[in-house]
Amino acid sequence: MKVFKAILAQLSFFTIIPTISAPLEEIAEFSFTAPLVVGVFTGVLDFLFLYIFHFFLGNTAFLLLIPFVEIIRGFHHLDGLLDYGDALMVKDYQKRLKVLHDVQTGSGAVGLLLVYVIIFIVATMNLKLSVFILLSAEVLSRASAISILALLPPIEGSFLAKVFYDKLNGKWWKFVLIQVEVFLFSPLPLLLAYFLLTVFFLFLCKTTLRGSSGDYVGFVITLSFPLYLLVAEKLCCQFSILQLLLILH
């Protein structure tokens, strides 16, 4: 019962969907299931939203995917992107950490927000109404974020990152399961994109913050989602393992 509760609580922690609540420690302990549980659920929601509104609005519905995704996430991950954007503008490391936790919004936040919106718009311009494309992007964006929490120690003052790191780091089987979830939803070229993007975000985190934080993984989920959408849309003709299994069945 505890395991089921902690797994179901991933939805209420990472989205605004009201499910079972659980202590942060339990959520972190089973967060290796988040790419699958949260990614699949939100991917299906994204598809249903597009399917319904495409009937009334045509291709305009794809642009509305941007606010819909952020509403489902409760704007929490977007807030991380804004905070990290401001932090990037500061050269001094200690001041950078202070700005990361500051509630003020500066030019760095606005600039990174524009980058995110532009990438998202480009990703939706030729997006096809495919549940597998949306599932892949949702699962992979969360897998990148959870992998970073598992691999990098937390920065000073990041309680969330510390809890997740303590529950994930050194548990090799949890890390492997995260990658298995990615493998199920990705054709080979998308797997390559996942590897390259995750390594890039790891490098960026290590060089700019010297450790993980809740704001940074929010930034990763936010920015990587349209990037994975863009790649998945270009490769939609190729089959993921999950698609092949469904076809063979």
Quote the number of domains for the chain: 1
CB 215 within 8 A of CB 79: yes
The 10s digit of each residue's pLDDT in 149-188 is 999 999 988 999 999 999 999 899 999 999 999 998 888 8
Q: For residue 10, which of 85, 156, 30 has the smallest C-alpha distance?
A: 30
The 10s digit of each residue's pLDDT in 12-33 is 999 998 888 889 999 999 999 9
Token pair, residue 94, equals: 């200690």
**C-alpha to C-alpha distances, 166 to 138, 150, 206, nearest whole angstrom:** 25, 8, 18
Q: Which domain holds residue 85?
A: 2-248
The 10s digit of each residue's pLDDT in 96-119 is 999 898 777 888 999 999 999 999
The DSSP symbol for 174 reads H
Q: For residue 136, which of 60, 211, 193, 218 has the smallest C-alpha distance?
A: 193
Token pair, residue 208, equals: 């700019």
Alpha carbon distance 159, 99 (integer Å): 17
